[in-house]
Amino acid sequence: MALTGAGISTESGIPDFRSPGGLWAEFDPLEYGSIQAFRADPAKVWRFYAPRFSVLSDAEPNGAHLALAQLERLGLLDAVITQNIDRLHERAGSKNVLEVHGSIRTSSCPGCGASYSLDEVLALLGHSDVPLCSECGGVLKPDVVFFGELLPAGTIDRAYSLARSARLLLVIGSSLEVHPVAGLPLETLEAGGALAIVNRGPTPLDSRASLKVDGSAGAILGAVVASA
């Protein structure tokens, strides 16, 4: 299995959130990325997210995303568990992807439940700072997990089950600081599996990994595929 975080997508030009130079170093996540903030002032939250939606929709999968898709096609990778909302694994060709923090693929109306595709939301944002539901006029909410929201129970349960069954869990671009996802490698280790980490910078589980590589995910995974 693979577990991916923001670091796998920075090579596609998508800024991360938690590094010293990330978005949350400049913006208060509770002010712009929490469910409480959205309910209090959805327009303010959308003004923050709208330009980032455009960046996410324009980004292309990089060598790391493509390598994981190829490893899946070769029968060497069973699934990708990702903390990312950018859809890049899917666009790279990975089939079995668990998006534990949701995705920008759709947005939903909290009022009537109507669902809108990313293209529809971007079209709405082209005319207004806030995308409104055409059915009831409510402000749409991206189908991503905000601070203060629970992860989708079925998805995180499935992720833990996959982690326990993995002979090797490959962590890519995650600092392993965000729970409960950060607990997945422990599930693999406690079940007798091994852990490998590809990440720029340390993680709390480096000492328990059979392999830790600090460097470009695209270059490293590309070399793995070349030798497969």
101 catalytic residue (yes or no): yes
Rounded to whole angstroms, the Cα distance separating 180 from 126 reads: 36
Which amino acid does the sequence have at 208?
Answer: R
Concatenate the DSSP letters of all residues of 1-21 into one string: -EEE-GGGTGGGT---SSSTT
Long-range contacts of 200-204 (CB under 8 A, 24+ apart): 200/7, 200/173, 201/175, 203/171, 203/174, 203/175, 203/176, 203/177, 204/176, 204/177
DSSP 135: T
Q: What does R_g of the chain's alpha carbons equal in angstroms?
A: 18
Q: Which residue in the list 89, 101, 127, 179 is annotated as catalytic?
A: 101
Label residue 50 left, alpha or beta by phi (over 0 means left) and psi (-120 to 50 means alpha). alpha
Q: Which residues are catalytic?
A: 101
